[in-house]
């Protein structure tokens, strides 16, 4: 596939204007390439031997894109060895801590680029032509869905962090409830296997 000079110039100008977002995307790609298709059996056995502390650690891993898949498989295994209700509460707490780290990092470190991005022509156009009810509901619902699922929480948390009306306290409650519910569903599925 060949790219025109104008396409490459446009891509490099965005890379220059938004280096942190570029770095974030590159880390997702690298993490996927490193962890794709790996066998996590030794890690699974280690987490089982750690008991509920292992469940807490698995919850922390559940929040990160490149460790969400192995964390999901570990939760499926843990469902056979632990009380699933206690495990989802403990795992949800671990995921909350990871999400708070991401949330604070995005809110503080990416604030300058979020401001610049909000002034881009396409973002202004979308913002002006999107009904306000859709704007108020769509981003929080999308962020919540991503946080509750085994999808990379970085995406959902990043979306939530860009919503200025979401406080850290509200985000914490939302993250804990959604992650705990997502982990419970995985544990219930694992119990049925």
Report if residue 2 sits inside a domain. no
What residue has token string 């559940």? 62
Q: Helix axis angle, 153-162 relative to 84-109, nearest 10°?
A: 50
Q: Please give the Cα distance from 66 to 188 (Å, whole number).
A: 23
- Looking at residue 60, its pLDDT comes to 94
- Looking at residue 99, its pLDDT comes to 92
Report if residue 5 sits inside a domain. no
Q: What is the pLDDT of residues 21-61, one digit of tens each?
A: 777 676 666 545 544 444 556 666 777 788 999 999 989 98
- Looking at residue 37, its pLDDT comes to 45
The model's pTM: 0.69
Q: Which of 81, 57, 85, 83 has the alpha carbon at shortest distance from 71?
A: 57
- Looking at residue 8, its pLDDT comes to 52
Q: How many domains, the chain?
A: 1
Query: What CA dihedral angle connects 112, 114, 118 and 123, to 10 degrees?
Result: 140
Q: Which of 46, 55, 113 has the alpha carbon at shortest distance from 84?
A: 55
Report if residue 1 sits inside a domain. no
Report if residue 72 sits inside a domain. yes
Report if residue 128 sits inside a domain. yes
Cβ neighbours of residue 159 under 8 Å, at least 6 residues apart? 139, 142, 143, 146
pLDDT (mean) for 6-29? 65
- Looking at residue 97, its pLDDT comes to 96
- Looking at residue 93, its pLDDT comes to 97
Q: Please give the Cα distance from 55 to 75 (Å, whole number).
A: 8
Task: Copy the structure tokens of residue 114.
Answer: 């979020």
Range of the domain at 41: 11-192
Report if residue 70 sits inside a domain. yes
pLDDT band with cut points at 50, 70 and 90 for residue 16 = low
Query: Quick check: 157 and 102 in contact, CB under 8 A?
Result: yes
Q: How many CB atoms lie within 10 A of CB 52?
A: 15
- Sign for the CA dihedral angle at 122, 125, 127, 130 comes to negative
Report if residue 107 sits inside a domain. yes
Q: Please give the Cα distance from 154 to 151 (Å, whole number).
A: 9
Report if residue 180 sits inside a domain. yes
List Cα–Cα distances, 118 to 106, 111, 113, 126, 134, in angstroms.
15, 11, 8, 10, 17
């Amino acid at each position: 596939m060949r790219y025109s000079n104008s396409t490459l110039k446009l891509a490099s100008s965005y890379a220059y204007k938004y280096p942190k977002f570029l770095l974030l995307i590159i880390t997702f790609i690298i993490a996927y390439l490193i962890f794709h298709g790996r066998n996590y059996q030794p890690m699974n056995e280690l987490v089982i031997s750690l008991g509920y502390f292992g469940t807490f650690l698995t919850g922390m891993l559940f929040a990160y894109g490149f460790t969400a898949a192995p964390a999901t498989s570990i939760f499926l295994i843990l469902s056979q060895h632990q009380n699933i209700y206690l495990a989802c509460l403990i795992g949800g707490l671990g995921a909350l801590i990871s999400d708070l780290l991401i949330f604070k990092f995005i809110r503080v470190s990416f604030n300058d680029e979020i401001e610049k991005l909000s002034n881009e022509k396409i973002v202004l156009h979308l913002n002006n032509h999107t009904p306000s009810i859709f704007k108020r509901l769509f981003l929080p619902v999308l962020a919540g869905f991503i946080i509750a699922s085994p999808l990379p929480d970085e995406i959902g948390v990043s979306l939530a962090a860009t919503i200025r009306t979401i406080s850290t306290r509200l985000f914490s409650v939302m993250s804990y409830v959604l992650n705990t519910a997502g982990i419970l569903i995985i544990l219930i599925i694992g119990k049925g296997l």
